[in-house]
Amino acid sequence: MDSKVLLPLFAQRFGCEGAACYAAPGRINLIGEHTDYNGGFVLPGAVGQCLTAWIRPNGSDQVNLYAADLGMECVFAIDDPQGPRSVHFRYVYGVVREMTARGVKVGGFDAVYGGDVPLGAGMSSSAALECCFAFALNDLFRGNLDGMELARVGQMTEHRYVGTMCGIMDQFVSLHGRAGCLVRLDCRSGEYEYFPWKPEGYSLVVVNSCVRHELVGSPYNDRRNSCERVAARAGVETLRDCSWEQLETLKTELSDEDYSRARYVLGEEERVLAVCEALKRGDYEEVGRQMYLTHEGLSKDYEVSCEELDFLVEEARRCGVAGSRIMGGGFGGCTINLVRNELRDAFVSEVRKNYRERFGVECKMIPVVIGDGARRVQ
């Protein structure tokens, strides 16, 4: 839902004088899954699909929200210690609380928002929502928070007000994304480097399994807890600092589950760096090979796949796709596919047909264009 559609909705509710428009994107992550909260490397990019909001300070202590995609509205006071019960609106409430805690004098405001980042598909619609409002409130209420601090606002919103103990990657790239580039983020130091993404002869295609994933609660947090247990046993802060030798030495002291989770993370760290080297060489076939290895680890060791996602990856392999894997936290959502252009149409057609025959539902194809991060829309 773009700004031109949202503005009349804002005008109907609040009038449009003085309103400003902001947008923040969802993301893809080429490789580096479940490494962010382990202090490791990730390689994401912002996408063209965004959460867009018209916002205007209203001079009161009240926030008035209308989520156009959901047809839902919410009202809460800036100093409300409890906030809304709806999980969706708690993302905005949490951003307000976190901004205020960092010294930004957030006042009441009116907002109408919507977007085209698929919900529950592993493209970080929640981070787009958080970052759109964090960027906007920092601008409208003259905050001085930089991009990394705004990313932490979004991350802490998830931790404290929603219950998902996520890493920093999704919010970081939603704020720092750059058109035509992927960004390698060191989640421990906060250092980052842009890598040009111009894969001549290849396209990125996201396939939405339409299996809705939910990261709130135990499945996601259980995996994080496994990693933290292994790191503590190894005497390091995060698995980023655990070597293969240390892990093998500890193997008999760990549960099979914790060992498998840690084995995946250490392997994924190596795969991210291997892909970065392959990108420097322009070797996109090697990029794809590493993507398949990541999926195998996510499915077998980290156990965040499902029958539908495994089927989509095997279909990609059968069609000759260069690389395919789960994208996002798992438990449903999407696969990301690196497809040679001459195979793209056949791949899309075959996967749609075979997925429908196997599961009785339509999967959705989402073309990917690497775009810019959060911004004020002129």
C-alpha pair distances (Å), 248 with each of 230, 264, 378: 11, 13, 55
Residue 364's Cβ-count burial label (10 Å; 0-12, 13-18, 19+) is: middle
Tokens representing residue 131 in the block:
């970052």
d(CA 73, CA 84): 11
Q: Which amino acid is at 72?
A: M
Helices 307-318, 344-359: inter-axial angle, 10-degree rounding: 140
Q: Which of 36, 170, 258, 301 is catalytic?
A: 170
Residue among 227, 111, 124, 223 at smallest CA distance from 177 = 124
Is residue 135 within 8 Å of 22, Cβ to Cβ?
yes
Tracing tokens 């400003």 back to the chain, one arrives at 20
Task: Name the percent of the chain in helix, strand, coil, to the closest 5.
Answer: 45, 25, 30
Rounded to 5°, angle at Cα 253 from 252 and 255:
90
Nearest-Å Rg of the Cα atoms of the chain is 21
Residue among 223, 265, 219 at smallest CA distance from 242 = 265
- Could you tell me which residues come within 8 angstroms of residue 97 by beta carbon, excluding any fewer than 6 positions away? 83, 157, 160, 161
Helices 256-281, 218-234: inter-axial angle, 10-degree rounding: 90
Please say if 170 is a catalytic residue.
yes
d(CA 203, CA 211): 24
Q: Which amino acid is at 255?
A: S
Q: Which amino acid is at 347?
A: F
Beta bridge pairs of residue 55: 20, 111
Helix (H) / strand (E) containing 69: none
Residues known to be catalytic: 170
